[in-house]
Chains A and B, each alone.
Chain A
């Protein structure tokens, strides 16, 4: 029997590693997941991708501006000093890539999923849900990105 929480976590971590390391060339390591909680605090910027199908909910990637600039710089192939409209679009696409990679990982477990277009949140804040979050920090070449998952069958 599949433990849904382990499945979610492993699929998201697989997706994140695929994008951060496979596509963008960062090293990848994982911190300690937090216990499930009803709200999470987010950093300066977050990208949110909805998931539908056999696993439903949201994947939220939260990071600070410096990490965002590094990711967008890597995606663009040149150093970005300030995030403009194109930079925000690149960040949204990053969320899209991660969401799609998570779907691919779920697919390997015979779970059929799809994603919704990404949404970006700018500014520190809190996210709340009735279905609670698992939060796990990952490190992309030492830079922290926190993945908040609110997923269920």
Chain B
């Protein structure tokens, strides 16, 4: 079981991710609607894993990843975005994200990504 921070500007997606992960026994320790809030929430809750959207107002997800990694180089961040082009994936991974799940996702794919980080 992991303590997870969910980041997505869409309340609908936060609900879907929460539902997918809680059904697998994980604990959702916080939710953020943009990258800036995700950084604050990371520092507050120190989750085991973060799910991070890319396209968000105020601060995008890749910028938030850079900031969180700067704060905690061991942070485990899984991008969860509809923008699945190679250049987007590479930018996110270069910023420090550990995996990339394209939306809309299958719950098993997201779980697989979480499991991989927990086993590392």
Give, as a whole number of angstroms, the nearest-CB distance from B82 to chain A: 3
Q: How many A-B residue pairs have CB under 8 A?
A: 52
Interface size on B, residues (CB 8 A): 18
B15 cross-chain contacts in A, Cβ below 8 A? 86
B85 interfacial by beta-carbon distance below 8 Å: yes
Given contacts A97-B104, A107-B85, 14 further A-B contacts (CB under 8 A): A23-B104, A85-B11, A89-B11, A89-B12, A90-B12, A93-B103, A96-B10, A96-B55, A96-B103, A99-B82, A104-B85, A107-B86, A115-B55, A116-B55
In the complex, what residues of B have CB within 8 A of residue A96's CB? 10, 55, 82, 103
Number of interface residues of A (CB under 8 A): 23
Closest-by-CB residue of A relative to B87 is A112
For A63-96 the 0/1 string (1 means CB < 8 A from B) is 0000000000001100000000111011011001
Q: A138 at the A/B interface (Cβ < 8 Å)?
A: no
The answer to whether A151 has its CB under 8 Å from any CB of chain B is no
Q: How far is the CA of A87 from the CA of B12 in the complex (A)?
A: 7
- Which DSSP category, helix, strand, loop or mixed, fits chain A's interface? helix
Q: Are A75 and B57 closer than 8 Å at their CB atoms?
A: no
- Partner among A76, A86, A115, A117 whose Cβ is within 8 Å of the Cβ of B9: A117
| CB-nearest residue of chain A to B104 | A23
Chain B residues within 8 Å of A, Cβ to Cβ = 9-13, 15, 55-57, 81-87, 103-104
Chain A residues whose CB sits within 8 angstroms of the CB of B56 once the complex forms = 117
A119 and B56 alpha carbons, distance in the complex (Å): 12
Most buried by B among A90, A97, A116: A90
Bound CA span A75–B16, Å: 10
Nearest CB of B to A93, in Å: 4
Q: Which residues of B contact A86 (CB under 8 A)?
A: 11-12, 15
Please measure, in the bound complex, the distance between the C-alpha atom of A41 and the C-alpha atom of B15, giving whole angstroms: 33
**Could you tell me the distance between the alpha carbons of A104 and B85 in the complex, rounded to whole angstroms?**
6
With a cutoff of 8 Å between Cβ atoms, the chain B residues found around residue A23 in the complex are 104
In angstroms, how far is the closest chain B Cβ from the Cβ of A124? 24
Please determine whether A93 and B85 come into contact, CB atoms closer than 8 angstroms.
no
Knowing A115-B55, A116-B55, A117-B56, the reply to whether A93 touches B12 (Cβ < 8 A) is yes
24 A-B residue pairs with Cβ-Cβ distance under 8 Å, sorted by A, are: A76-B12, A85-B11, A86-B12, A86-B15, A89-B13, A90-B12, A92-B12, A93-B10, A96-B55, A96-B82, A97-B104, A99-B82, A100-B55, A100-B81, A100-B83, A100-B103, A103-B83, A107-B85, A107-B86, A107-B87, A114-B83, A116-B55, A117-B9, A117-B57
